[in-house]
Structure 1
Amino acid sequence: MTVYVDPPAWPAHGTLFSHLVSDSSLAELHALAEAIGLSRRAFDLDHYDVAAERYDDAVAAGAVPVDGRELARRLGASGLRVPGRARRAAKADALLARWDALLPGARDVGVDLVERWHEPHREYHGPEHLVHALDSLALLEGRPAGVPDAAGTPDVHGSGPAPLAAGPTASVTQLAIWFHDAVHDGEAGRDEERSAELATTALAPHTDARAVAEIARLVLLTTHHDPAPDDRAGALVSDADLAILAAAPDRYARYVRQVRAEYAHVPDDAFRAGRAAVLRSLLDAGPLYRTPFAVERWEDRARANLVAELADLGR
């Protein structure tokens, strides 16, 4: 495992910046950044931005100097690289614009949510996951990615649009995705409870009680991803949250590394045992997905990813 840094060459904020990357481990990257006093807010999903005056500190701490082309090659080969489009979509400004289009007049709620999704301890459960889940939900609902549904939210009983919208353009399913990991402290079950409580409090001034209750219910459903057969809204939210399991192999591998980084404090043997138990429970619990689209397009690929990861853990 090696950390690399390129020369300061990227202008911003009145100075030049370098990039700091790892060839295999986000935990290793964070450790070196912490050693030289970099804030986690300097982390941009797959690299740290390092001001010119900290370049020598990075090298002294063990970062290997390389040119920009070599650094990009090393990052690409690491499996940790986040494509530029995904990184731009996860930026705070982009997410806030998306929120404003979804629920106009609730900017304060959006600002708080975006800050939460960008908390520095998040590796997988961060803004990239939020964007991916929102885009996956749009795909399941037949909307273009990034465009709020102005026609209302899907009926909770599965019969098409229903007047359960939380605002002029907001849908309950989209708001549930925004809130489903809004609290993420690594406490399974309790995180979802706190996220549902946050949704209830934050949305009460902006929508009716029936919509708020439904959003909270959908957030809690992501604890176990077990919607009832007639719960179409629950199926949509659950499938969107689990869409990452059906990602292409390179994206799935990055997801696996991100999950491991979130549990960097757990020893390898304990993590492998715990992660293997999670994977087996997913594989043994029946279908991963509940919507017809996801069952047809995602189920087989997701199971193949889970089986492959389980085999890697065994090795």
Structure 2
Amino acid sequence: MTPEDSLATLGLSPAITDEWIAQLSEPQRHYHTLEHIVAMLRNMPDSATTSRELIAATWLHDIVYDPTAVDNEEQSADQAACDLAGSDVAIEVVRRLIIGTKRHEPSEHPLDALMSDLDLLILSETPEAYQTYAAQIRREYAHVPEEAYRAGRAQVLRQFLQTPIYQTERFAGREDQARENLAWEIAQLQGR
């Protein structure tokens, strides 16, 4: 699905969606940009599971992004409620999908599982693309001292390795590459 098709499906005012694009271009963003949204949209299934709620959550899950904050998902969910008010998109579903990207915990709900998988697809890209992603994340967290960043980032990545990364059958085949990429970055962070 293209960004243009997705926005047409949502049917919101250009003023709202133009603001989304402006927010996704903010200077503190290096990975959490429009390019990330486009990658998620490109990998959405062409099926009934691709609901307007999933499309809206994809656009809005990182719409508020401050690397120094701990409540980006909650703020993004609040903006979603405001931006989608008056539409026939189920706001509470969108909020749930956005909040679910905070921890990417396993879900029995197929839409939540799909949202999580789409958000984590970068983990299973080619080693070169993954290395670019890792460097972009480091730039977003440039305010964190190197030693603290290495320890914190390695801890986050190790958590992904404790359970299956991908929850849907659609993306299960990407699991091995994701695990290889995560192991590579953890080794880099630990100076190996």
- TM, length-normalised to structure 1: 0.57
Offset of residue 101 of structure 1: 2.1
Counterparts in 2 of 1:126 and 1:105: CA distance versus 1, 3 Å: closer
1:265 aligns with 2:162: no
Structure 1 gaps of 5+ residues are 1-93, 144-148, 155-160, 166-170
Match runs of 1:218-237 below 5 Å: 218-229=97-108, 231-237=109-115
CA distance in 2, matches of 1:172, 1:220: 13
Q: Deviation per CA, 1:78-111, whole angstroms, max 9, x where unpaired?
A: xxxxxxxxxxxxxxxx85x345422224222211
2:28 aligned counterpart, secondary structure:
coil
Unpaired runs of 5+ residues, structure 2, are: none
User: Which structure exhibits the higher relative contact order, with contacts defined as CA atoms closer than 8 Å and separated by 6 or more residues?
Assistant: 2
For residue 181 of structure 2, what is the aligned residue in structure 1?
305
Match of 1:25 in 2: none
Residues 131-183 of structure 1 show CA distances to partners (whole Å, capped at 9, x for unaligned) of 112222x1xx2x3xxxxx6xxx52xxxxxx8xxx5xxxxx2111111010000
Structure 2 residue corresponding to 1:185, chosen from 29, 46, 66: 66
- Asked if 1:293 corresponds to 2:174, the answer is no
Q: Is the radius of gyration larger for structure 1 or structure 2? A: 1
SS class of match (2:41): helix
Residue 304 and residue 116 in structure 1: after superposition, are their counterparts in 2 closer, same or farther (change >3 A)?
same
Seq. identity, %: 38
Q: Name the amino acid aligned to 1:246.
A: S
Among 81, 84, 90, the alignment partner of 1:203 is 84
- How many residues align? The count is 190
The equivalent residue for 1:27 is none
1:237 shift after superposition: 0.4
Q: Distance in 2 between matches of 1:99 and 1:130?
A: 11
Deviation at 1:256, TM superposition (A): 0.6
1: CA distance, partners of 2:105 / 2:69: 15
State the distance in 2 between where 1:235 and 1:207 align. Answer: 23
Cross-structure match for 2:14? 107
Alignment of 1:1-315 (within 5 A): 95=3, 97-136=4-43, 138=44, 141=45, 143=46, 153-154=48-49, 171-187=52-68, 189-208=70-89, 211-229=90-108, 231-284=109-162, 286-295=163-172, 297-315=173-191
Q: Of Structure 1 and Structure 2, which has the larger fraction of its residues in helix?
A: 2
